[in-house]
Amino acid sequence: MAKAKKSKGGTPATVALEAAGVPFTLHAYQHDQAAASYGGEAAQALGVDPLRVFKTLVAEVDGTLTVGVVPVAGQLDLKALATAVGGKRATMADPAAAERSSGYVRGGISPLGQRKALPTVLDASALAHGTIYVSAGRRGLEVELAPGDLLRLTGAVSAEIGRG
């Protein structure tokens, strides 16, 4: 995986990766407005196992916005997310609050380069892969990188927060 070249149309996610000197690969695809699942669409369009494509979800844990990154093939276990960050109760965040906090639109929220750094948890299944895919900051654009780099750049912890 080669380090991507700086581009004028970069997203905050790609800018953060470039600034950190992290190797990554961008993968673009034509986003379909009618797609039922943004993550599922990405996996299918790119021909990648849905267990390697991760969605970024924003939840509220005891009143604090928190990011959960889980495979698109499953769902976020809110109780496990709360436990992973030492909280008691989690609910999905209001979509408008998630967009305001992250600086991204729904379906394009990346765990990288968010406007406000939030507590982040990456599902432990990511560590079984050499590289994973996450949103690069807009619909139709994914970034492939090593899960360890994602953990380091986001200050995330790894825990079993996904369910089948």
**44-79: pLDDT as tens digits:** 999 999 999 999 999 999 999 999 999 999 999 999
CATH class, domain 24-163, is: alpha beta
Residues paired with residue 163 on neighbouring β-strands, in sequence order: 75
**Is pLDDT at 8 greater than 60 in this prediction?**
no
Residue 20, both tokens: 């950190």
From residue 90, alpha-carbon distances to 87, 103, 151 in Å are: 8, 22, 21
- pLDDT at position 3 is 42
Q: Is the pLDDT of residue 4 over 60?
A: no
Of 10 and 109, more confident: 109
* Confidence (pTM): 0.92
